[in-house]
Amino acid sequence: MSQQKVNIGLVQHRCTLNPDENVAAAIRGVREAARQGAQIICLQELFRSVYFCQIEDHKYFELAEEIPGPTTQVFQDLAKELGVVIVASLFEKRAPGLYHNTAAIIDADGTFLGKYRKMHIPDDPLFYEKFYFTPGDLGFNAWQTKFGRIGVLVCWDQWYPEAARLTALRGAQILFYPTAIGWHPTEKEKYGVRQHSSWETVQRGHAVANGCYVAAPNRIGHEAPDGGDGIEFWGQSFIADPSGQIIKKASVDQEEVIVAEVDLDVVDTQRTHWPFLRDRRIDAYGDITKRFID
């Protein structure tokens, strides 16, 4: 394997009400991904708990912790032991009354490289994240790891081409999107196929538009922490290449690890042959900072 060829792994699993069980499942997934040769491994969004944002309940703030903190340390130790890069999505307690949906980026020697705080915070039925999370204030970034330069965005960020573009402009060769998304059971029959297709398609578009790899781990299982209809998470974690082609994809409902080899030289080739970054009219984009153009 040449220096520019890297194996990336995604961990897809169910979550329970017990954080220790969830962390143990994530650790098993990381170990399995490493056993299969993965060098950069990304966990799903908020893997330490059920997706509690389905309801607004102050008790769930007890799940939050500092970053770096105890769970980050667990994965720093694991990264160092296995010699792998880990992206870990956690509920961050920054200060009393100030919380974020945050991803920790850990290098292969266990070094804490930094964190990304989710910038776009949804407030939709069963996705009441604004109750819990303050919008990120660290901007869009990329980190040079032992195995490549990666960018990290989180779930709802997936729908925003601006987020992907700005992260790519930081030099990201791979965009990771830790995710927790699924169907409302009452809507699945009517809208399910198009909803999933939209989610997958928009991210494949980010890969094309930015000439980079995109990798999105998603959880599986049905979760209803309030006893209601809940959410049926649709899994289907995937890795797409810089032309938007899916090179590895997980199932809808099985706990699994997917690992794919990516060639980072392809990023340069793709961006040279499809020179979107070269041809951008940066002199004409000032209005993008406006909410709407009347």
| Residue numbers of the domain that contains 173 | 5-274
Instruction: Indicate the number of domains in the chain.
Output: 1
Strands 148-152 and 174-176: parallel
Q: What is the pTM of this model?
A: 0.97
Q: How many CB atoms lie within 10 A of CB 24?
A: 11
Reading the chain (294 residues) residue by residue, the pLDDT tens digits are 446 999 999 999 999 999 999 999 999 999 999 999 999 999 999 999 999 999 999 999 999 999 999 999 999 999 999 999 999 999 999 999 999 999 999 999 999 999 999 999 999 999 999 999 999 999 999 999 999 999 999 999 999 999 999 999 999 999 999 999 999 999 999 999 999 999 999 999 999 999 999 999 999 999 998 888 999 999 999 999 999 999 999 999 999 999 999 999 999 999 999 999 999 999 999 999 999 998
What pLDDT shows up at residue 85? 98
Residues classed as catalytic: 45, 118, 155
Could you tell me the CA-to-CA distances from 49 to 26, 64, 95, 226, 228 in Å, in that order? Answer: 11, 10, 20, 14, 18
284 located within any domain: no
Question: Is the N-terminal amide bond of 68 cis, ω within 30° of 0?
Answer: yes
Distance CA 237, CA 256 (A): 9
63 located within any domain: yes
Q: How many CB atoms lie within 10 A of CB 146?
A: 15
91 located within any domain: yes
**CATH for 237:** 3.60.110.10
Q: Which residues contact 88 (CB under 8 A, 6 or more apart)?
A: 26, 43, 47, 71, 72, 75, 103, 104, 106
Distance CA 8, CA 5 (A): 10
What pLDDT shows up at residue 1? 43
How far is CA 118 from its chain centroid? Answer: 10
What pLDDT shows up at residue 3? 64
93 located within any domain: yes
109 located within any domain: yes
